[in-house]
Structure 1
């Protein structure tokens, strides 16, 4: 994953992919966790969320989002999909938005 992110950063001159590659190389104990409830508070309908850690299922989400994270619990994935959202991989996100902007 980190090598793909670094390649995308160099190819597309996109610093976001380089920063995510740095996070990917950190030990899992040093990565952050976030709950679905917090994502719901910080986002709006149809936002794309990139989180370099694990998404946990505590709380609810009230709107549709596109979520990309290093890891996601089964309950969090179910809550995102139930509200019409989708979960995508980093490779899919790079294909959709190579420059990481917007």
Structure 2
């Protein structure tokens, strides 16, 4: 039985970058994100803004190893890193004085992975 590999070059590059950063900095958070992204894409997280609002506090950084959807209301200014965002999620995050970024940007900004919350 053949094991299917990722065919999207962005995902393969991101997974290898996460593993490399994890080894270089001893940060287990990037290893965990890489492990979740190696799973089949049907298992990727789809997180609504209502869940982010429930679990994240003002000024916190949240990683979603999948897609952020715009259902719900976001009241706190939260930095959110994800593989992708819906248009309504981007609008609501920006309206709440938050910040949307890719996981690649967050790894470059915070290679140690400190003070980051993973949501699934």
TM-score (norm 2): 0.79
Instruction: State how 1:34-45 maps to structure 2 within 5 Å.
Output: 34-45=47-58
The reply on whether 1:27 has 2:13 as its aligned counterpart is: no
Distance, in Å, in 1 between the alignment partners of 2:113 and 2:23 is 12
Runs of 4+ in 1 over 3 A off after TM superposition: none
Distance, in Å, in 2 between the alignment partners of 1:80 and 1:32 is 18
State the shift of 1:72 in Å: 1.4
Could you say which residue in structure 2 is the equivalent of 1:8?
21
State the shift of 1:27 in Å: 1.7
Equivalent pairs, count: 102
Contact kept in structure 1, 2:82 and 2:102, CA below 8 Å: yes
Q: Where do 5+ consecutive residues of structure 2 fail to align?
A: 1-13, 116-120
State the shift of 1:50 in Å: 0.8
Distance, in Å, in 2 between the alignment partners of 1:9 and 1:45 is 27
Q: What do you get for the CA RMSD once the two structures are aligned?
A: 1.2
Could you say which residue in structure 1 is the equivalent of 2:6?
none
Q: Where do 5+ consecutive residues of structure 1 fail to align?
A: none
